[in-house]
Amino acid sequence: MIIVKVGGSLGIDYDALCRDIAALYKAGEKLILVHGGSAETNRVAEALGHPPRFITSPSGYTSRFTDRETIEIFEMVYCGKMNKGIVERLQRLGVNAVGLSGLDGRVFEGKHKDSVRSVENGKVKLLRGDHTGTVEKVNTHLIGLLLDNGYLPVLTPPASSYEGVAINVDGDRAAAALATALKAHTLMMLSNVPGLLRDYPNEDSLIPFIPATDVESYMGFAQDRMKKKVLGAAEAVAGGVGRVIFGDARIENPVSAALSGRGTVVA
């Protein structure tokens, strides 16, 4: 079982990704795709007159402040345009893909965090009305039904809270929770960089290998959103996933390239 998480950053080639996934799927590989949609969400949010608001937690993680209007825009883009765009590409390539958000069948479930701490001008503020959370439970039964009957699941945030409220969750950590729940041998996180860079943004500074026992000590190389990927990788390998690969989604055959060891391998 391979879990492929593809981001939503600029430069990602979804056509090349879907061609590669279709070829692997037809060769008998069991695959699940998890995707993001951050860049397109920012664009649509601006166009709708509700620009994104990013906050930095006291521990240095960046996230999107998600009020009710933002989660609705988020759903339009993630569950609508991005999810259906990927499903359509796969259908054209002869793969019976099924697109689901974490809300559908509670594929991804977790606790709703209504307030969040944000550092602004050196001061910590408490912001209320946030629709965010972290995936704690995965509906492996529903995923199993799809996989056992020849469908390729295409999954996306938001998740469902325990009360059934849509919550924005980090896609990388959702994919890590899914890979852990399904005991996947490989989790890959594809984005618009070659992998984890020692000296970001210098693409010649790729870190090729990170020992599973020592992921935490590489955290320092990751800035802003890359931190969540490294955190997700640490959670996945600690949870029994065989290996995590950070790979490039701007190239032809991105999944096959990562499978052959291109990128940053955590094992």
Binding site for ligand ADP (CB under 6 A): 7-9, 36, 38, 191-193, 196-197, 200, 221-226
- In the complex, least distance from residue 172 CB atom to ligand ADP, rounded to whole angstroms: 6
In the complex, which residue's CB is closest to ligand ADP?
A: 7
- The residue among 40 and 146 lying less far from ligand ADP, judged by its C-beta, is 40
- The residue among 25 and 246 lying less far from ligand ADP, judged by its C-beta, is 246
- In the complex, least distance from residue 191 CB atom to ligand ADP, rounded to whole angstroms: 3
DSSP string, 102-152: ETGGGSEEEEEE--EEEEETTEEEEE----EEEEEEE-HHHHHHHHHTT-E
Taking the C-alpha atoms of residue 4 and residue 2, their distance in angstroms, rounded to an integer, is 6
C-alpha neighbours within 13 Å on the C-beta side of residue 55: 21
- In the complex, least distance from residue 195 CB atom to ligand ADP, rounded to whole angstroms: 7
- The residue among 68 and 198 lying less far from ligand ADP, judged by its C-beta, is 198
User: Quick one: which of 32, 86, 109 has its CA closest to 77?
Assistant: 86
- In the complex, least distance from residue 28 CB atom to ligand ADP, rounded to whole angstroms: 28
- The residue among 146 and 210 lying less far from ligand ADP, judged by its C-beta, is 210
* Residue 185 and residue 207 in contact, taking contact as beta carbons nearer than 8 Å: no
Neighbouring C-beta atoms of residue 139, cutoff 10 Å: 19
